[in-house]
Chain A
């Protein structure tokens, strides 16, 4: 069993999909393990709430598993998963519009920043999380000061783009461009040092 898991980790995404279509459950599990965080981040970027993002990511993987046979290999597995996740988020958004109580929650705005930590984090996951946070701290600290300034003002001070542009006396497009560049560089630095899940 352990040898099988080791073999699955060696496979590419496309090979894993082929194995999953053939009926290998561990292959699809490896796909989920590799992409769950990124899919969750995408859903969080679209929905803005962690609980909704978790639901959307789970539904996206369920939809991907059901549609494994329709994957034709024309695009990367990651792109295929991204599109499934985006569509799933849009479905959730449309569903939310029909709920009156969710409108009240949106007006309240309190739940948007509420973090619900999972009490079922394993020691391995906790270690992985700690390592990732250290990497993010280093990556943010390594950013050029003008880019880091915009990241801090946006993410920590929760300022709008307009407020940042007025504070720094910069055009609005420059502020957006700087934040985009900063996040892009962060992504590249984090990709170079991936955190291995035990």
Chain B
């Protein structure tokens, strides 16, 4: 007969009893355990001891905890949404446009646009200041000259030259425009048109400008040169077709 020595049985680990009581282990192991249990008195007594304690806990759990009701969680607004009829009127649709999320979206769009506008205007102003400012404020030191190394005669000659430049009235430099004319020619805006025509005729007479493309003369229009289709041509074609 097997003896029970403390928490361990001579037949094997005693904690296998709890595995069997709580329904764990595969069927093969359980069958072997049952066969052993039917032939081993000490294991049977130990099994009965543990089973009695387990049933006490099971009974306590069943009597005092299982009957406790689980509180039901009710969300009232879900039921209200389901029960309320859906309003499909025009005003309801209009009202839905101005619901809080859409209004918030529109407001956010306005704010973003205004912010971008302010940022852009500030950025452009700063850029212009950055372009203009330095040129106005930059004072470049005079370039070092060789005056320090000049003799007294050369220095007096240079000062005379400078005085003469001051006395002489400043003249605009004659720069040529893109068309080869001077600024003075371009400034003759008040002259009559004939003068300009005459000038262009002179320019045409110039052999250097003969290679240029002949400009169309509006007042000397020759119909024979016009080859475009006319209404009279259409009518003539229709009459001859008959």
Contact = CB atoms under 8 A, between A and B. Distances in A.
A183 B24 contact: no
A29 interface: no
A139 B54 CA distance: 12
A149 interface: no
Contacts of A154: 22
A42 B51 contact: yes
Nearest to B37: A86
B43 to A, nearest CB: 9
A44 B50 contact: no
A154 B59 CA distance: 14
Given A45-B21, A176-B15, A183 B50 contact: yes
Contact of B52 (A38, A48, A83, A90): A38
A42 B47 contact: yes
Nearest to A87: B38
A187 B50 contact: yes
Interface stretch (A10-18, A64-72, A129-137): A129-137
Contact of B60 (A137, A179, A183, A184): A137
A83 to B, nearest CB: 6
Contacts of A136: 56-57, 59-60
Given A45-B55, A190-B53, A176 B16 contact: yes
Contacts of B45: 78-79, 82
A127 interface: no
A133 B38 contact: no
A176 B44 contact: no
Given A181-B7, A186-B56, A83 B19 contact: no
Interface stretch (B62-70, B88-96, B196-204, B217-225): B62-70
Interface string B65-82: 110000000000000000
Given A87-B38, A154-B22, A176-B15, A42 B56 contact: no
Contacts of A40: 55
A190 B19 CA distance: 22
A93 B23 CA distance: 14
A79 B20 CA distance: 19
Interface of B: 7, 13-24, 34, 37-38, 41, 44-45, 47-66
9 contacts: A40-B55, A41-B56, A45-B51, A86-B38, A115-B66, A155-B57, A156-B65, A180-B17, A186-B57
Given A42-B51, A46-B51, A190-B53, 16 more contacts: A38-B48, A39-B48, A41-B52, A41-B56, A48-B23, A82-B44, A82-B47, A136-B56, A137-B64, A161-B22, A173-B13, A176-B13, A176-B18, A179-B18, A183-B53, A184-B49
Cβ-closest 7 pairs across A and B: A45-B51, A41-B55, A176-B15, A187-B53, A183-B53, A180-B15, A41-B52
Interface of A: 37-42, 44-46, 48, 75, 78-79, 82-83, 85-87, 90, 93, 115, 129, 132-133, 136-137, 139-140, 151, 154-156, 160-161, 173, 176-177, 179-181, 183-184, 186-187, 190
